[in-house]
Amino acid sequence: MNHEHNQTKKHWEKIYREKDTTGEVSWYQDIPKTSIDLILSTGIDKNSSIIDVGGGDSKLADKLLGLGFKNVFVLDISSQALQKAKTRLGEKAKSVIWIETDILEFDTEYRFDIWHDRAAFHFLTRGEDIVRYVEIAGKFIKPGGYLIISTFSVNGPKKCSGLDITRYSKDSIKKTFQKDFSRVRGFEEAHITPFNTKQNFLFNLFKKK
pLDDT tens digit sequence for 118-161: 989 999 999 999 999 999 999 999 999 999 999 999 988 787 77
**Residue 44 φ/ψ region, left for φ over 0, alpha for ψ in the -120 to 50 degree band, beta for the rest:** beta
pLDDT of residue 116: 98
> Degrees (nearest 5) of the Cα angle 104, 192, 75?
25
Count CB atoms within 10 A of the CB of residue 34: 17
Residue 119: its pLDDT value, please? 85
Using only the alpha carbons of the chain, give its radius of gyration: 16
Q: How far apart are CA 167 and CA 93, in angstroms?
A: 33
Q: CB neighbours (10 Å) of residue 23? A: 10
Phi, psi of 33 (to 5 degrees): -60, -45
Query: Measured at the alpha carbon of residue 93, what is the angle toward residues 30 and 142, in degrees to the nearest 5?
Result: 85
CA atoms within 13 A on the CB side of 58: 29
Q: What is the pLDDT of residues 156-178, one digit of tens each?
A: 878 777 788 899 999 999 999 99
φ and ψ at residue 170, rounded to 5 degrees: -60, -40
Contact 117, 54 (CB under 8 A): yes
Model pTM? 0.87
CB atoms within 10 A of CB 43: 8
Query: CA distances (Å), 201 to each of 9, 35, 55, 163, 207, in order?
Result: 24, 12, 16, 17, 20
**pLDDT band for position 32 (cuts 50, 70, 90):** confident
